């Protein structure tokens, strides 16, 4: 898959999309014309559409639905925003194969970690673990899973939750795995750059074990690379085999090996900035990922 964010970029589509790709993940489109262009391209080229909530740029400071807020009124508002989106997608006859939401929202932050370089749009986007118990986390997660399961049955889409910054409730407990087994309609998105960034910021977090723990529940992988030294060196870079972990790059080959072993049918959305490389390198990115995922590849 490729992404289209902010607008339907015809030039990006013609350069990045390949015959046989599953589809396009769209987010924050500005105009009705962008939506129409996406819909027309899907019909012409017979691909699926994934929606990264929200489909349209609604001008809100916080784009995500704060469905696990500590404030009951904000939770009601958040579920209402999603419901409005579902009704709008029905009106547009877009019929997305999946709809993706960031999770958990608000993000639950480990009090021990310095999160100063993590991007937040607003203070309401996060809460500290010391103010948010595991029991409350599981109660609100289950309520979310129940609601999304019902909506998925009514509207015909796969609900996908993309991990944002994570605390030990997710990576050091089996409780979330239990809920994912109970509510099988709910699937995950694992973002390679985001996971690696947390590993560099959080000494308690390891990205490869997290990938191993949750890959079996994934529906989509957001694939891009990040080079990190004393700070950010390169962001949203296409993955290539010469990007070595010793030079500050994410261990993409390890991630791909885990995914091949745990869930080879997962979708890959190339969430990179393809303009950072030439046409030959972009094709080499696609080919390397395909080769890494092939049965019998030894890594």
**Per-10-residue mean pLDDT, the chain, length 299:** 97 96 97 96 97 93 94 97 97 96 97 90 95 98 98 98 97 97 98 96 96 98 93 87 95 97 96 96 98 72
Distance in angstroms (rounded) separating the CA atoms of residues 88 and 90: 5
Q: Are 16 and 282 in contact (CB under 8 A)?
A: yes
pLDDT, residue 58, reads 84
Distance in angstroms (rounded) separating the CA atoms of residues 76 and 294: 45
> Which residues contact residue 298 at a Cβ distance below 8 angstroms, ignoring those fewer than 6 apart?
none
Q: Are 170 and 194 in contact (CB under 8 A)?
A: no
Q: If we measure between CA atoms, which residue out of 186, 124, 129, 122 comes closest to residue 159?
A: 186
In this prediction the pTM is 0.95
Q: If we measure between CA atoms, which residue out of 133, 141, 137, 136 comes closest to residue 159?
A: 141
Distance in angstroms (rounded) separating the CA atoms of residues 89 and 85: 6
pLDDT, residue 116, reads 87
Tell me the Ramachandran region of residue 93: left when phi exceeds 0, alpha when psi lies from -120 to 50, beta otherwise. Answer: left
pLDDT, residue 17, reads 98
pLDDT, residue 296, reads 56
> Which residues contact residue 295 at a Cβ distance below 8 angstroms, ignoring those fewer than 6 apart?
260, 264
**CA within 13 Å, CB half, 171:** 24
User: Which residues share a beta bridge with 160?
Assistant: 100, 187
Which ranges of 93-206 would DSSP assign to H, the alpha helix? 134-155, 168-171, 175-182, 192-201
Helical packing angle, 72-92 and 134-155, nearest 10°: 20
Q: If we measure between CA atoms, which residue out of 297, 230, 239 comes closest to residue 268?
A: 239
> Which residues contact residue 245 at a Cβ distance below 8 angstroms, ignoring those fewer than 6 apart?
251
């Amino acid at each position: 898959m490729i992404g289209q964010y902010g607008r339907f970029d015809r030039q990006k589509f013609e350069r990045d999309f390949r015959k046989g790709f599953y589809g396009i993940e769209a987010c924050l489109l500005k105009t009705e014309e962008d939506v129409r262009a996406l819909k027309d391209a899907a019909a012409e080229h017979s691909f699926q559409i994934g929606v990264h909530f929200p489909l349209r740029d609604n001008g809100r400071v916080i784009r995500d639905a704060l469905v696990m807020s500590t404030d009951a009124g904000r939770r009601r508002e958040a579920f209402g925003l999603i419901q409005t989106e579902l009704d709008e997608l029905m009106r547009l006859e877009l019929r997305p194969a999946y709809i993706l939401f960031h999770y958990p929202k608000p993000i639950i932050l480990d009090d021990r970690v310095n999160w100063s370089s993590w991007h937040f749009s607003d203070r309401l986007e996060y809460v500290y673990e010391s103010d948010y118990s595991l029991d409350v986390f599981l109660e609100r997660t289950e309520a979310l899973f129940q609601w999304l399961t019902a909506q998925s049955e009514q509207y015909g889409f796969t609900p996908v939750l993309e991990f944002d910054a994570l605390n030990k409730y997710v990576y050091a407990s089996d409780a979330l795995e239990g809920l994912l087994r109970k509510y099988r309609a709910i699937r995950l998105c694992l973002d390679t750059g985001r996971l690696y960034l947390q590993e560099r910021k959080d000494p308690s977090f390891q990205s490869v074990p997290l990938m191993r723990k949750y890959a079996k529940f994934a529906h989509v992988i957001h694939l891009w690379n990040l080079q990190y030294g004393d700070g950010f060196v390169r962001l949203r870079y296409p993955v290539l085999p010469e990007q070595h972990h010793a030079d500050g790059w994410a261990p993409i080959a390890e991630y791909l090996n885990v995914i091949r072993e745990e869930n080879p049918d997962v979708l890959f959305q190339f969430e990179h900035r393809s303009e950072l490389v030439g046409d030959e390198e972009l094709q080499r990115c696609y080919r390397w990922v395909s080769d890494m995922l092939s049965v019998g590849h030894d890594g």
